[in-house]
Amino acid sequence: MKQLLAIVRPHVAEKVVEALRRAPVEAFTVREVKGYGRQKDQLAEYGQTEFELAFLPKIEIAVWVDDPRVEEVVARITSTAGTGRMGDGKVMILPVVRFEQVINIESK
């Protein structure tokens, strides 16, 4: 099993989530993050004032996938999120160590 961490632009996140729903994927998490990389600072304009954003807003999607499906899921993410421009994001593939125990949290 692998964990895929996909960091994508906010405006494509919903499309990526929809593509993952059709994968099908057992479960994933989504959270807002900020990052700094090759894209560096982005000059933005707010009203009539220009300012620099040191950290750009991104969305992180964490997906847990069985080994045989990793390439298929990565292909779905990259084809959905990719625009061919710098800053489209990254997909990191991490090994998952065998779970000792998984506890479901449910109301008793």
Per-10-residue mean pLDDT, the chain, length 108: 94 94 86 79 54 78 93 95 88 89 77
What are the sequence ranges of the domains in the chain?
2-56+63-95
| 62 and 5 Cβ atoms separated by less than 8 Å | yes
Rounded Cα distance between 81 and 59, Å, is 11
Per-residue pLDDT, 8: 95
DSSP 50: E
Burial class of residue 20 (count of CB atoms within 10 Å of its CB; 0-12, 13-18, 19+): buried
Per-residue pLDDT, 4: 96
2-56+63-95: CATH number: 3.30.70.120
* 25 Cβ contact list (under 8 Å, min separation 6): 63, 64, 65, 73
Per-residue pLDDT, 47: 54
Q: Which amino acid is at 86?
A: M
| 16 and 74 Cβ atoms separated by less than 8 Å | no
The total of other beta-carbon atoms located within 10 Å of residue 8's CB is 25
> What ranges in the chain are assigned the alpha helix state H?
10-21, 70-81
Cα 90–chain centre separation: 8
Query: pTM to 2 decimals?
Result: 0.78
